[in-house]
Structure 1
Amino acid sequence: MKIAVVTDSTAYLTKEQVEKYNIRVVPIPFVIDDQVYNEGVDITTEEFYDKLRTCQKFPSTTQPPVGELIELYNSLADEGYDTVISIHLAGTISGFIRTLQTTVKDAVSDRINLIPYDSKITVLLMGYLAIEAAKLTQEGKDLDTILARLNQLRTTIKEFFVVDDLQNLVRGGRLSNASAFIGSVLKIKPLLTFDDESDKIVAFEKVRSSKRALKRVEELFDERIQGIDYPLRLIVIHANDEAAALAWREKLAKKYPDYPIDISYFGPVIGTHLGEKALALAWMEDIYR
């Protein structure tokens, strides 16, 4: 069995990671002022946030064309792969995984065994799932072993987001309990997470000021890691505010010296919904230990 690994651009993997682990990346399209861009291909993240500040219409995201997806999986079959694990952003925030499970899977079934895998998350957390799958394929592990490991690794993922306001999430329909948090007063910072039961993005607290919000996230992290008996890797994720992310990482590194802490970012597709200046603390089992 020869297994390929595919993910999408919201994994925000580096070029070096993609090449090292031979991961294929599907660009997710987004639209600003009627112009369609492919994430990671047609526009840089910095250019996106510049446009986000001045756009006339609320930006939106869409799914990759089905024909291009079919072409990708058929090309993998041409390369000798008989199976592909395709790891993508949560089905609760995008219909992409459902499209793979239905239309695309059937269309390529005579060429390759397509396994759509819902990461139930996105960003670099999903990227690390893809890297782990790729590492295991390189080690010659079988499909059942790889999927079991992904399922186990996925249970170790958790994250908390701090956003400036909820307008992008509310207008984009990505916040499941929006009515309880609309109309927040100035300087209130909503805290969000992917709900453990529904896998939907939920707002669960309002905190006054960014400083207090980050402190509250650290408190929640302390609570969540009690009793964990495996090594953790932390990720500080920012929406076009690297300086704030680096400052937070420096503080976290002093507080949690035993944990490696990566810096990552919210690219255009996720930034469309979270808005500029969002920050997040995420963590999962460390795949490098």
Structure 2
Amino acid sequence: MSILHRNRWYVMDESVTGLTENPMHSFAMDDTLCRLVSDHEDWGIARTWVHDRTVVLGIQDSRLPHIEKGIDLLKSEGYNVIVRNSGGLAVVLDEGVLNLSLIFKDEKRLSIDSGYEAMVSFVKEWFKGFDLDIEDGEIVESYCPGRYDLSVGGRKFAGISQRRLRGGVAVQIYLAVTGSGSERADLVRRFYDAAIGREETKFTYPNIVPLKMVSLEELTGETLPITEMLHSMLLTLKEYGEKLGNVELSEEQWSVYEENLKRMVKRNEKIV
């Protein structure tokens, strides 16, 4: 049976409240929920989140030779900048990008690949009404390329990452729902141009081709409000669990969240 099948699914929707939150909140919250779910083998937690104009850098990005110039460029374009607490490279968040975290207790059957594959399966089920031929595989010329990029016709609309800690696993996906995929990609391309300059780097950063990235609205030709996407996501989630409930954190869990957030803030003070 798929790891998506759970006795109970819990939901935390921050698609609206997240627009006024610093995205550091989301990474601290996912860490908190990983710890919460580690005590509940049959639980799954689905958290949706949307943040305003922010570029989230990976740890490797923070080591770019001219990172200050890159950050200055992003800020001049009206974007906030943070460094996340997990791997991967730069991604763009804005009101047209819907993020979903599926959070499970870590267990033997939940290998790294099975976590990614569960998210791929979930998204394909979620989007089956669009009649899209969704493929998973690295789109090398996208930003934050990875083995489990999701694309249609070689144009990427989503990327998946994974974080494991404290007995829990958070599989996270960003979905470009509305807006221009190529404009987001061009922003990240210009960031790397500024932050690398003419320097040689040990790490290989992506050579981004903006037309390799796209949004779901561009792929389908349909208007896709985030609220409708959330509704269809919940209907899909019900296929994998008998009950849906809302996440409620205890006072102790809120204290854990505050500690996680402090660590994120401290990390960003050193880099950004």
The two structures have a TM-score, normalised by structure 1, of 0.26
- Higher RCO, Cα 8 Å, sep 6+: 2
In terms of Rg, which structure is larger?
1
The two structures have a TM-score, normalised by structure 2, of 0.27
